[in-house]
Structure 1
């Protein structure tokens, strides 16, 4: 087999993908283990986020899911407030701008992964 430029480019893209995946997993663990107390303190009155608290007892992956759940609440805060699922004075705005941005980034990335897996399975079923 001859290694062409296409193989090298694809190999680099695959390597970057895996490097980014492990970097983001590490970042999620960082948020889950070091910032979770401040995150939960800021949103302690929100019933929707309190319903996610069972994730805290599921180990490291549960902490990652908790961060992602809070991120989703921050990402869709206007919609959730409008429909009564998120408390308007619940304190999610008390998080610092950097924390809100970081957690919302986690939510956007998680939505991309979930959306891709959903549409990937949808495409495979309809092919």
Structure 2
């Protein structure tokens, strides 16, 4: 495979990765603005979320931060349950379809981040 072909493949993967990240940010902003009140109403007994709820009034970054906390709570609840930051009853009553969407979004973001780090490693060390 020629260097030109490898660079073209690398460029296509990078463009798709950046596009995917922007799409995930857009989906996250949609969820943060359209579904935040409903998510917070289901997590009203979770101190880890409730002590940071004021951040939703600081703009899009604050809403994304709180959404990230909620996504982390949905994907890895064990740490929150162990230290008393979450309520098992609230997690059980959280809507399953929204829990799936949040978990899928978080795993997609992590996957795109891994691809981006792999692309950076290729750009730094892989070119011969």
User: TM-score, structure 2 length as denominator?
Assistant: 0.76
Aligned residue pair count: 114
Aligned position for 2:38: 38
Aligned position for 2:74: 74
Q: Structure 2: which 5+ residue stretches go unaligned?
A: 121-128
- The answer to whether 1:104 aligns with 2:106 is no
- The answer to whether 1:95 aligns with 2:94 is yes
Aligned position for 1:27: 27
Specify which structure has the higher proportion of helix: 2
The structural deviation recorded for 1:110 is 5.8
Cα RMSD of the aligned pairs, angstroms, is: 2.5
Aligned position for 2:56: 56
- The answer to whether 1:86 aligns with 2:86 is yes
Q: 1:5-59 CA deviation, whole Å, 9 max, x = no partner?
A: 1121011011101110110010100100111111011101111110121220210
For 1:54 and 1:107, locate their aligned partners in 2 and report how far apart those are by CA, in whole Å. Answer: 22
For 1:50 and 1:38, locate their aligned partners in 2 and report how far apart those are by CA, in whole Å. Answer: 13
- The answer to whether 1:16 aligns with 2:7 is no
Aligned position for 1:124: none
User: TM-score, structure 1 length as denominator?
Assistant: 0.76
Tell me: CA distance 1:37–1:107, structure 2 relative to 1, closer, same or farther (3 Å).
same
